[in-house]
């Protein structure tokens, strides 16, 4: 509009105000400043409702319904799990795109890129941890979303196809998470994915299984081709499939509306789209506020979680020649790993997951019950809960606790200082491990095991028996020795070929800042022959080891003083020094 005649008509000040209001309305796609103020005050809209305009004017809002039924906006009806899944996907896309900047999918670079990301990229570790946490949460939330839809019977007509696409989205989410697992190229990644892809091998006939396996790995074993394929799956193909099915899924949700609580409508009826005027809750401002404050809260929880209790793991570089003891799948595949332990690869890796998937997709077409009310759906609810319990039992069998146990001395050391990962000793760390030789038994027990003479010889060589290791001296070290002894007695009870066991921990200063830990375990076999097991590990003063779900080691903050405090650190970060 022409400003000059306006100014002549209304005066300068009013023209500016109108222009400002006009700009505001353009930005909000149809909400004027006055209407916005009314929203904040909680006043009802006028008629016709001016708050509907953004739904026709704005691209992002045109896919959202302009109003909902009051009953479905209650938090406990949907827990907003679908919204949260979508949000997590967006979060994964953003953090993932940032991580891609520092990552090259080749075996030569992938792992060193991870180390560089952790040690040389400001916020690199934060981005990686958020991405990992988001991925695991997404699997959990998508599953919970499905469970919720099942329990409320929301898959029933007319929403069968919505459920069907939802199952596909769950599968894609699982594959997305799993394909991302390989990318850090560490031992954890390589072996979890090797086990995963080897299940494809079991598809009959053999030529199909072999071909699928070969296509996934790019070679008989996972190497550079396999890494590239998983990378492309992770960043390109699977997200595209997910986006496609997401839009189908979401379109169906909007088309049929969110199903009402079952009690509020007649059996067999679907009145989700027939919302009486007095039960309408408009997206602007009520649902919008609900969703925004909910997502902001979830983000805050995730950020606090990452800052305190969550760190994405990174183990040793992938080594196809050495399989670490107790390889574990990610927790959401524990059930598969548990199944693999009790049946062969074809049944547990192909047949059962395949049948489960078909059943899951077919639920809306198989369930003849028209009622969505819990009291009418006893069979469905009980079989659903049973399936959940079975999954949990299978998952438990997939955990390392239920693992195939190795030889007792190996298990004792693995418990306290595992080949990969942290373990108590590495968490306690270098500074709590004094040089010397330490026994897991007290003097009396040693005499009983070895006889007076040999026991005295051992003690004279400078070995410290358990009765001389006191909590007051160093509680952390005492805990290590107590755990070592506890592990031994646990295995001793379990295994009849593991008797009169005494362990000796030799801590040797191998180099400056580097200690060698020799875990020596002496025992009598079932036939009474004495045997010895020794396993050596090294521990560096600066090495930090962490568990994925444990308190983050924040001791590095004390380095701030060396860096000249917060100010010096910030200058350093911005390169102002």
Partner 1 sequence: MHKPLYHYLYIKSPIAKIAIGILALVVTLAVLGGIIVTEVPRMEAQTANWNGRSIEKGAALFASNCAPCHGDHGQGTMNVAPALNSKYWFTHRLDDLGYTGSQKSYVLLTVAAGRPSKVNSQWAQRMATWSRNYGGPLRDDQIDALANYILNWQESAVEQTDEEDPWQPFDGVDTGWAGVRAAEAGITETVGISDTQTVSETAEPRAPEVLFVNMGCSGCHNLNEPQDENTPHLVGPNLGNLAEVAGTKVPGEDAETYVHTSIVAPNDFVNPGYLPNLMPQNFAEQMTPEEINALVTWLLDPNRPQ
Cβ–Cβ < 8 Å for 172, 238 = yes
- 267 binds partner 1 per the rule CB under 8 A: no
Distance of closest approach, residue 430 Cβ to partner 1, in angstroms: 9
Task: For residues 57 and 78, give the distance between their C-alpha atoms in angstroms, rounded to a whole number.
Answer: 28
Q: By CB under 8 A, name the one of 63, 90, 304, 534 that touches partner 1.
A: 304
- 277 binds partner 1 per the rule CB under 8 A: no
Distance of closest approach, residue 154 Cβ to partner 1, in angstroms: 17
- 264 binds partner 1 per the rule CB under 8 A: yes
Report how far apart, in Å, the C-alpha atoms of 392 and of each of 21, 185, 299, 336, 548 are.
57, 29, 28, 11, 21
Q: By CB under 8 A, name the one of 257, 285, 338, 398 that touches partner 1.
A: 285
Longest CA–CA span in the chain (Å) reads: 114
Distance of closest approach, residue 307 Cβ to partner 1, in angstroms: 5
Residues 46-85 binding partner 1 (CB under 8 A) are 71, 74-76
- 559 binds partner 1 per the rule CB under 8 A: yes
Strand partners, 517: 507, 537
Pick 14 or 435: Cβ nearer partner 1:
435
Pick 496 or 574: Cβ nearer partner 1:
574
The 3-state DSSP class for residue 531 equals: strand
Distance of closest approach, residue 314 Cβ to partner 1, in angstroms: 9
Task: For residues 327 and 419, give the distance between their C-alpha atoms in angstroms, rounded to a whole number.
Answer: 10
Q: By CB under 8 A, name the one of 23, 211, 383, 572 that touches partner 1.
A: 572
Cβ–Cβ < 8 Å for 444, 469 = no
- 541 binds partner 1 per the rule CB under 8 A: yes
Pick 401 or 558: Cβ nearer partner 1:
558
Interacting stretch for partner 1, rule CB under 8 A, among 109-117, 151-159, 451-459, 520-528? 109-117
Task: For residues 413 and 416, give the distance between their C-alpha atoms in angstroms, rounded to a whole number.
Answer: 5
Pick 540 or 551: Cβ nearer partner 1:
540
Cβ–Cβ < 8 Å for 194, 216 = no
Number of helical (H) and strand (E) elements in the chain, helices listed first: 25, 6
Pick 134 or 364: Cβ nearer partner 1:
134
Gyration radius of the chain over CA positions: 31
Interacting stretch for partner 1, rule CB under 8 A, among 232-240, 259-267, 327-335, 383-391? 259-267
Q: By CB under 8 A, name the one of 1, 47, 60, 122 that touches partner 1.
A: 122
Interacting stretch for partner 1, rule CB under 8 A, among 121-129, 218-226, 266-274, 409-417? 121-129
Interacting stretch for partner 1, rule CB under 8 A, among 85-93, 230-238, 286-294, 499-507? 286-294
Which structure tokens are listed for 335? Answer: 């059930």
Cβ–Cβ < 8 Å for 209, 201 = yes
| CB burial of residue 224 (10 Å; 0-12, 13-18, 19+) | middle
Task: For residues 28 and 34, give the distance between their C-alpha atoms in angstroms, rounded to a whole number.
Answer: 12
Which structure tokens are listed for 262? Answer: 């079952």
Distance of closest approach, residue 537 Cβ to partner 1, in angstroms: 8
Q: By CB under 8 A, name the one of 64, 148, 280, 516 that touches partner 1.
A: 516
**314 phi, psi to nearest 5 deg:** -145, 110
Q: By CB under 8 A, name the one of 28, 514, 547, 548 that touches partner 1.
A: 514
Pick 261 or 362: Cβ nearer partner 1:
261
- 303 binds partner 1 per the rule CB under 8 A: yes
Interface pattern 312-341 for partner 1 (x via CB under 8 A): ----xx------------------------
Task: For residues 100 and 105, give the distance between their C-alpha atoms in angstroms, rounded to a whole number.
Answer: 9
Residue 186: DSSP 8-state: B
Residue 464: DSSP 8-state: B
Distance of closest approach, residue 538 Cβ to partner 1, in angstroms: 4
Q: By CB under 8 A, name the one of 1, 9, 27, 42 that touches partner 1.
A: 42
Distance of closest approach, residue 31 Cβ to partner 1, in angstroms: 15
Strand partners, 317: 186
Q: Look at the block and give the residue holding tokens 């939330």.
A: 141
- 261 binds partner 1 per the rule CB under 8 A: yes
Interacting stretch for partner 1, rule CB under 8 A, among 111-119, 160-168, 379-387, 389-397? 111-119
Pick 316 or 443: Cβ nearer partner 1:
316
- 276 binds partner 1 per the rule CB under 8 A: no
Distance of closest approach, residue 141 Cβ to partner 1, in angstroms: 18
Q: Look at the block and give the residue holding tokens 């949260």.
A: 84
Q: β-strand 280-282 against 436-439: which pairing, if any? A: unpaired
The contacts of residue 33 (CB under 8 Å, 6+ apart) are 20, 21, 24, 25
Task: For residues 512 and 463, give the distance between their C-alpha atoms in angstroms, rounded to a whole number.
Answer: 23
Cβ–Cβ < 8 Å for 261, 70 = no
Residue 376: DSSP 8-state: G
Q: By CB under 8 A, name the one of 343, 536, 549, 551 that touches partner 1.
A: 536
Interacting stretch for partner 1, rule CB under 8 A, among 224-232, 242-250, 359-367, 541-549? 541-549
Report how far apart, in Å, the C-alpha atoms of 365 and of each of 102, 125, 259, 296, 532 are.
46, 46, 17, 38, 62
Report the phi/psi class of residue 29: left, alpha or beta, with left for phi > 0 and alpha for psi in -120 to 50.
left
Q: How many residues bind partner 1 (CB under 8 A)?
A: 65
Positions that interact with partner 1 (CB under 8 A): 39-40, 42, 71, 74-76, 108, 111-112, 115, 118-123, 125-126, 261, 263-264, 285-286, 289-290, 292-293, 296-297, 299-300, 303-304, 307, 316-317, 510-514, 516, 536-544, 555-560, 562-563, 566, 569-570, 572-573
């Amino acid at each position: 509009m022409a400003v000059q005649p306006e100014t002549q008509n209304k005066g300068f000040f009013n023209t500016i105000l109108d222009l400002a209001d006009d700009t505001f309305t353009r930005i909000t796609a149809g909400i004027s400043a006055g209407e916005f103020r009314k929203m904040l005050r909680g006043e009802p809209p006028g008629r016709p409702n001016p708050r509907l305009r953004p739904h026709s004017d704005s691209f992002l809002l045109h896919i959202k319904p302009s109003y909902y039924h009051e009953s479905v906006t209650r938090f406990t009806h949907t827990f907003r799990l679908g919204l949260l899944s979508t949000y997590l996907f967006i979060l994964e896309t953003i953090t993932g795109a940032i991580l891609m900047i520092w990552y090259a999918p080749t075996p030569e670079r992938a792992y060193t890129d991870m180390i560089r990301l952790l040690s040389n990229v400001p916020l690199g570790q934060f981005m990686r941890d958020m991405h990992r946490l988001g991925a695991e949460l997404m699997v959990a939330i998508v599953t919970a979303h499905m469970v919720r839809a099942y329990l409320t019977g929301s898959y029933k007509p007319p929403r069968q196809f919505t459920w069907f696409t939802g199952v596909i989205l769950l599968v894609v989410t699982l594959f997305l998470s799993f394909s991302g697992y390989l990318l850090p190229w560490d031992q954890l990644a390589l072996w979890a994915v090797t086990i995963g892809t080897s299940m494809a091998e079991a598809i009959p006939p053999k030529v199909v299984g072999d071909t699928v396996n070969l296509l996934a790995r790019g070679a008989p074993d996972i190497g550079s081709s396999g890494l590239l394929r998983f990378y492309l799956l992770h960043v390109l193909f699977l997200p595209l499939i997910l986006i496609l099915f997401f839009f189908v899924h979401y379109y169906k949700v909007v088309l049929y509306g969110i199903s009402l609580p079952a009690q509020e409508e007649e059996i067999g009826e679907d009145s989700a789209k027939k919302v009486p005027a007095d039960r309408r809750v408009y997206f602007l401002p009520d649902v919008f506020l609900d969703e925004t404050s909910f997502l902001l809260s979830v983000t805050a929880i995730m950020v606090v979680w990452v800052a305190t209790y969550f760190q994405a793991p990174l183990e040793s570089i992938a080594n196809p020649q050495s399989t670490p003891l107790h390889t574990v799948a990610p927790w959401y595949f524990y059930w598969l790993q548990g199944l693999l332990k009790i049946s062969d690869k074809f049944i547990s890796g192909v047949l059962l997951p395949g049948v489960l998937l078909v059943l899951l997709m077919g639920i809306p077409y198989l369930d003849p019950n028209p009622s969505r009310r819990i009291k009418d759906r006893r069979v469905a609810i009980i079989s659903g809960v049973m399936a959940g319990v079975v999954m949990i039992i299978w998952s438990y069998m997939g955990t390392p606790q239920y693992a195939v146990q190795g030889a007792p001395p190996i298990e004792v050391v693995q418990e306290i200082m595992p080949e990969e990962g942290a373990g108590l000793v590495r968490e306690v760390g270098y500074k709590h491990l004094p040089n010397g030789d330490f026994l897991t038994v007290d003097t009396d027990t040693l005499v009983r095991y070895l006889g007076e003479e040999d026991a005295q010889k051992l003690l004279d060589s400078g070995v410290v028996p358990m009765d001389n290791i006191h909590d007051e001296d160093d509680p952390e070290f005492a805990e290590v020795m107590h755990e070592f002894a506890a592990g031994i007695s646990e295995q001793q009870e379990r295994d009849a070929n593991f008797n009169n066991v005494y362990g000796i921990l030799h801590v040797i200063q191998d180099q400056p800042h580097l200690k060698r830990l020799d875990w020596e375990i002496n025992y009598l076999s079932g036939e009474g022959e004495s045997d010895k097991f020794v396993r050596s590990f090294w521990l560096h003063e600066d090495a930090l080891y962490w568990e994925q779900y444990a308190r983050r080691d924040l001791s590095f903050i004390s380095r701030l003083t060396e860096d000249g405090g917060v100010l010096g650190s910030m200058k350093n970060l911005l390169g102002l020094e």
